[in-house]
Amino acid sequence: MAFGDHQKPFKRTNHTTKPANREREKELTFGIQSVTEALRSGQEIDKIMVQREGSFPEIQQLAKERDIFVQRVPLQKLDQITRKNHQGAIAFMSAIRYVSLHNALTGVFEKGDTPLLLLLDRITDVRNFGAIARTAECMGVQALVVPVRGATTKWRAGDCLYRKSRKKSR
């Protein structure tokens, strides 16, 4: 018997992304009524995708009032994101609750500290943002200030959830 004859033949397994998709779906709110209620309740929403062919006046109006980006996409794109009944509307919920820069500064001053803030703009690489956030924490930075749009959103996972993050309006 040659080496390997007793072993099962190599079987290529296709690991599906079901666990990742289930995790991702926890960060989603989908369905017209659910997205509308999320907007009304003031939940932190990164962006909203709606079906290109659909009409969603209430979602669009509420999103405009809260300065939330609404992207019109083909139905197939929405179906790729979730297989559940999305009714043509999906909201990507933020993993972090942002506070205004004014409130962040007030909190630092109330503690009697001198503020040390790090202002970031145009950081699009997740690894760069994570490295910057970790270094900033080690250096005693009390808040990261990021633009409302244009920065990466994937950095919000993991230990970054415990950092104080601030979103600056343009």
Conformation bin of residue 13: beta by default, left when phi > 0, alpha when psi is -120 to 50: beta
The Cα–Cα gap between 143 and 136 comes to: 9
Q: How many CB atoms lie within 10 A of CB 31?
A: 17
- Cβ(62)–Cβ(101) below 8 Å: no
Global pTM exceeds 0.75 = no
**pLDDT tens sequence across 33-81:** 999 999 999 888 989 999 999 899 999 999 999 999 999 999 999 999 9
Place of tokens 């970054």: 160
- Cβ(155)–Cβ(128) below 8 Å: no
The domains found in the chain, sorted by start residue, are 21-93 (3.30.1330.30), 101-168 (3.40.1280.10)
pLDDT at 1 over 90: no
